[in-house]
Structure 1
Amino acid sequence: MIGVGIIGLGLAVKPHALALRELEQAGVARVIGGHAPSAERRAAFAAAWGWPVFDSAAALLAQPGLDLVLILTPPRTHLPLAEQALAAGRHILVEKPVEWDAARAEALVQAARRAGRRAGVVFQHRFRPAALRLKQAIAEGALGEILSASASIRWWRDEAYFATPGRGMKARDGGGVLLTQAIHSIDLLLHLAGPVAGVRGIARTSPLRAIDTEDIAAAALRFASGAIGAVDATTVARPGFPERIEIAGTRGSAVLAAERLELHLAGAPAEVLDRGSAGGGGADPMAFDHGPHRAMIAEMLDAIAQGRDPANDIATGLPVQRLIEAWLASSASGREETP
């Protein structure tokens, strides 16, 4: 069994803990314990899950049998914590985004490479069954050449969400709706349709909350393949709606709404894979199934056991972060920018 520790016991911990509990039951992982600077959060974690807690990251990292560390803290803390874990000889799985900005994200990737440890990024949407089926169809050429690829993320976040100190502020989160919420769907769009060669974007902050990051954004995308598309992202769409990805090719089209996929291929009946449409787009950001987290962590454990890079290798988290920075730069310059 691979020993797992968790640093960061806030909002993001629940789906990871649910997944790890099931992986413990399956005999493939053992949770060594968790750490958060807050004594209150440590106590709540221990009470909820029954795992040990440690009052410092160093104490957790020193535990015998620890192989993998999940870093679930605010973005700007990822690099120093990752460096600390890597120096202790541990593999890492880092919550999205990789870091506060693309430069720090690249530094984290390079730190993992120098250390020779396995490093992954938390983009669990790639592991949803409907997304896996769509990825397979595209890889097999079932849609033909992709001509159009777009995404719409019309979510809602209420006052309680922004009540957490620093949430929605650049100093803590690095960005707003793009880097904090829509990043999952934008990453999945790139994962499916390939890299973007140019972006022309706009973004602004609504009067609904006192934050200094964007909560309304839209962009036109020019993919390296020649396909074009658009992305619309916001957290002001009350009460929140399932995020959508739509892809059209020379041989067919696909619509992915949260975990519901419709495939319409030339000469074939429509294929529907419906795992539900609740994706955490409403006031409760954690209202989603933890199954994709379990699949993602299980794949990471397999990668460690087999001595290979994980499917969600840390470097695969860089393209979406570069795209978001180019999008915001385009909003400021009024020109197309290159990610």
Structure 2
Amino acid sequence: MLALRDLEASGRAAVIGGHAPSAARREAFAARWGAKVFAEQAALLAAPGLDLVLVLAPPGAHLPVAQECIAAGKHLIVEKPLELTVARGEALVALAEAAGVRCGVCLQHRFRPASLRLKEAMLAGALGQPLSASASIRWWRDDAYFAQPGRGSMARDGGGVLLTQAIHTLDLLLHLMGPVRDAAGFALTSPLRAIDTEDVVAAALRFENGAIGVLDATSVARPGFAERIEIAGTRSSAVLTAQRLELHGIDGGAPAVFGDDGAGGGGADPMAFDHGPHRALITEMLDAIENGRAPSCSARSALPVQRLIEAVLADAGRRG
């Protein structure tokens, strides 16, 4: 992770070591980081100077890995999604909170500068009362992406385009708009790849604040396009395209523009994105640990997006 490289270079953090069940992965980690590797997770957790653990395992392993970290009193950042299901995510949150351990989730879109600016504007009432909101995630993932064993399977990933790709933009939508009260969805699995999870989804949403909206998410849109959130309120509208924000006022003049057209990872290369928001997320967690408070991107704050995903897919399943 380039974000960790930056934090090491600045003296803000140091990589103590790593653990993976696979010997090959342990060797790759040692070669990349020049840090000690541990054949057993318990040995890593006992290493001197370890305060924060990054849990990068497949989703279904997050809860058991987190249990061991929490029992050892270590704070943690869990890669998205929090877990395979809402129930398992809730169990993880309960364990961390009962132990007083800080637990965050890697939903870094909240930390993009344009996202922060839009959140600030909405809190200040710049858009007025939100009336309509939409999220469009029209990405592309190629054959090489799905060649990884288990990729796109329920057994490994627990879900398709919603839980694995669109979750970042959906989380940001809820971070801006608040939770969803009702959802009606449609989902299908395309014939483009041999997977058993959804890769095309559409849904209608009604938020608890009274606004309504739509969701359009897919990983079959070649060559992949920047994800987009649009919000219309009683005073103005906002268009957030990846890392570029446009705020349109009631006077109809030129919009105020923040950010740039930087890549968002929507194309064939899922790693083609700015690592700055990752750095900001980890830094905010370090600040939270030092100041004895919960991180803003806490595990509990990641539950609403998983509840929405389950609700959309459950409704889609009922429709057949």
TM-score scaled by length of structure 1: 0.92
1:183 equivalent in alignment to 2:164: no
- Aligned residue in 2 for 1:317: 302
Is residue 190–residue 199 contact of structure 2 (8 Å, CA) maintained in 1?
yes
- Aligned residue in 2 for 1:94: 78
1:206 to 174, 178, 190: 190
1:239 to 207, 223, 232: 223
Structure 2 unaligned regions, length at least 5: none
Kindly provide the amino acid, as one letter, of the partner of residue 287 in structure 1: A
Is residue 257–residue 277 contact of structure 1 (8 Å, CA) maintained in 2?
no
1:120 equivalent in alignment to 2:104: yes
Report the alpha carbon displacement of residue 40 of structure 1 after superposing the two structures with TM.
1.7
Report the alpha carbon displacement of residue 115 of structure 1 after superposing the two structures with TM.
1.2
In structure 1, the residue corresponding to 2:269 is in which secondary structure?
coil
CA distance in 1, matches of 2:230, 2:17: 41
Is residue 262–residue 273 contact of structure 2 (8 Å, CA) maintained in 1?
no
CA distance in 2, matches of 1:134, 1:228: 19
- Aligned residue in 1 for 2:51: 67
Q: What pairs with 1:190-229 in structure 2 (closer than 5 Å)? A: 190-229=174-213
Kindly provide the amino acid, as one letter, of the partner of residue 148 in structure 1: S
In structure 2, the residue corresponding to 1:29 is in which secondary structure?
coil
In structure 1, the residue corresponding to 2:214 is in which secondary structure?
strand
Is residue 262–residue 274 contact of structure 2 (8 Å, CA) maintained in 1?
no
Report the alpha carbon displacement of residue 277 of structure 1 after superposing the two structures with TM.
3.5
1:306 equivalent in alignment to 2:291: yes
In structure 2, the residue corresponding to 1:222 is in which secondary structure?
strand
Report the alpha carbon displacement of residue 52 of structure 1 after superposing the two structures with TM.
2.0
Report the alpha carbon displacement of residue 200 of structure 1 after superposing the two structures with TM.
0.3
CA distance in 2, matches of 1:139, 1:334: 37
Kindly provide the amino acid, as one letter, of the partner of residue 84 in structure 2: W
- Aligned residue in 2 for 1:131: 115
Identity of aligned residues (%): 68
Q: What pairs with 1:274-285 in structure 2 (closer than 5 Å)? A: 274-285=259-270
Kindly provide the amino acid, as one letter, of the partner of residue 156 in structure 2: R
CA distance in 2, matches of 1:76, 1:91: 19
Report the alpha carbon displacement of residue 269 of structure 1 after superposing the two structures with TM.
4.6
In structure 1, the residue corresponding to 2:105 is in which secondary structure?
strand
CA distance in 2, matches of 1:37, 1:287: 28
1:266 to 234, 240, 250: 250
CA distance in 2, matches of 1:266, 1:72: 45
Is residue 200–residue 334 contact of structure 1 (8 Å, CA) maintained in 2?
no
Report the alpha carbon displacement of residue 49 of structure 1 after superposing the two structures with TM.
2.4
- Aligned residue in 2 for 1:27: 11
CA distance in 2, matches of 1:90, 1:185: 29
Structure 1 unaligned regions, length at least 5: 1-16
Kindly provide the amino acid, as one letter, of the partner of residue 312 in structure 1: C
Alignment length (residue pairs): 319
Report the alpha carbon displacement of residue 54 of structure 1 after superposing the two structures with TM.
1.6
Is residue 113–residue 259 contact of structure 2 (8 Å, CA) maintained in 1?
no
CA distance in 1, matches of 2:22, 2:104: 25
RMSD over aligned Cα atoms: 1.2
- Aligned residue in 2 for 1:249: 233
In structure 2, the residue corresponding to 1:31 is in which secondary structure?
coil
CA distance in 1, matches of 2:25, 2:243: 31
Give a deviation string over 1:49-81, Cα, whole Å, max 9, x none: 222222221121110111110101110000000
Is residue 35–residue 60 contact of structure 1 (8 Å, CA) maintained in 2?
yes
1:297 equivalent in alignment to 2:282: yes
Kindly provide the amino acid, as one letter, of the partner of residue 263 in structure 1: L
CA distance in 2, matches of 1:165, 1:145: 46
CA distance in 2, matches of 1:334, 1:283: 31
CA distance in 1, matches of 2:262, 2:190: 26
CA distance in 2, matches of 1:57, 1:209: 35
TM-score scaled by length of structure 2: 0.97
